[in-house]
Amino acid sequence: MKLNDTCSSKRRAREAGLPIPGVTGENNSITDVPGVLVGYTTLSSYADPLLQTGALPVQTGVTAILPRGLDKVPRPVWAGQFSLNGNGEMTGSHWVRDGGYLVGPVMITNSHAIGAVHEGAARWMVEHYADAWNNNHLWAMPVVSETYDGVLNDINGFHVTSDHALAAITMAKSGPIDEGNVGGGAGMICYEFKGGTGTSSRSIDIEGKNFTLGVLVQANHGIRPWLTVMGIPVGQHMTDARIPGFSTEHGSIVCIISTDLPLSSSQLERLARRASIGIGRSGTPGGNNSGDIFLAFSTANDMALPQLSSAWRNMTTLNDEFLDPVYLAAVESIDEAILNALFAADDIPTARPSGAMCKALDIDELLKILKKCGRI
């Protein structure tokens, strides 16, 4: 098992000179939302050859997002969920839509690792919140989502285990986090370039009070001709090194939106819907083979578990008339997070078909196209 806790030295989209709109948080990351932690377990047989047990390489992992950090007391967060195209999985989403909240970590991995990661996350909840779990009839229903990494990874080898999920949770931290070939994004492809994990954030002012919205994406979607950056269809000009067999979409994207704004579950569901516009800015129409699955949660309105609470609940929510800048922040952040995933990623050989290469985005070529078109 390879645990990745170092930060990439590659230029992010803003650092490379793209005039991306919006004011970011300190780290331009989902971890800019106070209390939110992110951890990874990255499995790569290129770094550790002993991981490979068959003919195909291992390039996969687990991403853990902890809305309440490592607090020992289980405290829910209000949440909302939306699927633009449901060709994928997000466990716990039925209860998020009905109950309006979630408890515990939010996990992302590959399509065949949902069960192992769910077991690991549930085991962590039972053990970490032992005082609450041992004295009450409580159930663990962690949120686990996925995208398909079988082009770059031996997905049928079932290399991700519950221990890898536990390790990702244990490694969770605040501050700047890695992007690209890390965690659940290790084996992902985005617009036929190497994709993976990306993050971004926005600072939002509401009547003189500052709030933060942060996103994390696992970008594994799109085909090359769709790729659009700063409004320019750059994928139509970047035609080299396309992956054989990618005439149609093969992947998905998971978007997690976090904020410390006090929002109701209904408002968070509407916020999650705006991820559709965010991913559309880079060109995807939400293809039939894509699982475009989104979750939004708010760390405001701190509360105890409903099973352990009194009959009444008090909460503050934002007036709907002030939601427009929140929606814009989510759209901009998701677009930027996808770019950051592309900018951070490294070349990886394909497992199927063997012998090809999933190339990282050529940043210099991209900048040249955008300059020629007057965008930078």
Would you state the pLDDT for residue 245?
Answer: 81
Task: Give the DSSP letter string of 10-35.
Answer: SPPTTTTT----S---TTSSGGGSTT
**Token representation of residue 204:** 């939002």
Q: In whole angstroms, how large is the CA radius of gyration of the chain?
A: 20
Rounded to an integer, what distance in angstroms lies between the CA atom of residue 271 and that of residue 331?
9
Confirm whether 12 is domain-assigned.
no
Q: Which of 150, 174, 167 is nearest to 42 (CA)?
A: 167
Rounded Cα distance, 45 and 47, in Å: 5
CA–chain centroid gap for 338, Å, is: 9
Does the pLDDT of residue 30 top 50, yes or no? yes
Q: What is the model's pLDDT at position 344?
A: 98
Q: Which domain holds residue 83?
A: 30-307+317-370
CATH number at residue 76: 3.60.70.12
In a domain, 220, yes or no: yes
Residue 92 carries which side chain, given as an amino acid letter? G
Is 142:119 a contact under the CB 8 Å cutoff? Answer: no
Is cis: bond before 353, omega within 30 of 0?
yes
Rounded CA-CA distance 356/347 in Å is 11
d(CA 221, CA 52): 26
The pLDDT of residue 8? 53
DSSP alpha helices (H): ranges in the chain?
A: 93-99, 114-128, 130-134, 162-170, 265-273, 275-280, 324-344, 363-372
- The answer to whether residue 1 sits within a structural domain is no
Domain count, the chain: 1
Structural domain contains residue 188:
yes
* Distance, CA of 34 to CA of 195 (rounded, Å): 27
Distance CA 123, CA 125 (A): 5
| Rounded-to-5 percentages of helix, strand, coil across the chain | 30, 25, 45
Q: Quick one: pLDDT at residue 279?
A: 98
Answer yes or no: are the C-beta atoms of 233 and 373 closer than 8 Å: no
Tell me the C-alpha to C-alpha distance, in Å, between residue 31 and each of 77, 191, 278.
16, 26, 19
User: Taking the alpha carbons of 294, 82, 90, 297 in that order, is the dihedral positive or negative?
Assistant: positive
Q: Give me the pLDDT at residue 353, please.
A: 83
pLDDT digits (tens, 9 = 90+) for 238-275: 999 898 888 888 889 999 999 999 999 999 999 999 99
| Pair of tokens at residue 28 | 């331009």
Nearest to 175 by CA among 25, 302, 40: 25
Q: How far apart are CA 230 and CA 250, in angstroms?
A: 24
Give the active site residues: 252, 290, 292
Report pLDDT digits (tens) over 107-151: 999 999 999 999 999 999 999 999 999 889 899 999 999 999 999
The share of the chain scoring above pLDDT 70, in percent, equals: 98
Measured in whole angstroms, the distance separating CA 351 from the mean position of its chain's CA atoms is: 23
Q: Is 69 within 8 Å of 128 (Cβ atoms)?
A: no
| Cα–Cα dist 25/213, whole Å | 8
- Is 269 inside any structural domain? yes
Residue 34 falls within a domain, yes or no? yes
Tell me, yes or no, whether 11 lies in a domain.
no
Kindly report the length of the chain.
Answer: 376
**pLDDT for the residue numbered 149:** 97
Work out the pLDDT band at 89, boundaries 50, 70, 90.
very high
Residue 165 lies in a domain: yes
| This prediction's pTM | 0.96
**Angle (CA) 92 326 185, round 5°:** 50
